[in-house]
Amino acid sequence: MMWGRFGIVAAGTSAALLLLSSPVRAQGTGPSASEPALSIGPRFVETSGEALFASVCQSCHMPDGKGATGAGSYPSLAGKSRLESSAYPIAVVINGQRGMPPFGAMMSDDQVAAVVNYVRTHFGNRYQDAVAVEDVRAVRRQKP
Report pLDDT digits (tens) over 124-138: 999 999 999 999 999
What CATH number does the domain containing 83 carry?
1.10.760.10
Band of the pLDDT at 144, cuts 50, 70, 90?
low
- What is the pLDDT, as a whole number, of residue 142? 87
- What is the pLDDT averaged over residues 15-19? 35
Flag whether 125 is in a domain: yes
User: Does any domain span residue 62?
Assistant: yes
Query: Span 7-21, mean pLDDT?
Result: 37
d(CA 125, CA 75): 15
1-35 burial: b if 16+ Cβ within 10 Å, else e: eeeeeeeeeeeeeeeeeeeeeeeeeeeeeeeeeee
> Strands 73-74 and 68-69: what pairing?
antiparallel
140, part of any domain: yes
Where does the pLDDT of residue 70 fall: very low under 50, low under 70, confident under 90, or very high at 90 and above?
Answer: confident
Domain-embedded: residue 5: no
Residue 68 in domain: yes
Is position 97 within any domain? Answer: yes
Q: Is residue 63 part of a domain?
A: yes
Long-range contacts: 74-77, Cβ < 8 Å, 24+? Answer: 74/99, 77/119, 77/123, 77/125
Once rounded to an integer, what is the mean pLDDT over residues 109-123? Answer: 97
Span 25-36, pLDDT tens digits: 333 334 444 555
Q: Which domain holds residue 89?
A: 47-144
Using an 8 Å Cβ cutoff, are 89 and 135 in contact? no
Number of domains in the chain: 1
Q: What is the pLDDT of residues 72-100, one digit of tens each?
A: 889 999 999 999 999 999 999 999 998 89
pLDDT band at 18 (very low <50, low <70, confident <90, very high): very low
Rounded average pLDDT over 92-118: 95
Rounded Cα gap, residues 78 and 11, in angstroms: 45
Structural domain contains residue 114: yes
Which run of H or of E encompasses 69? strand 68-69
115: exposed, middle or buried (C-beta count within 10 Å: 0-12, 13-18, 19+)? Answer: buried
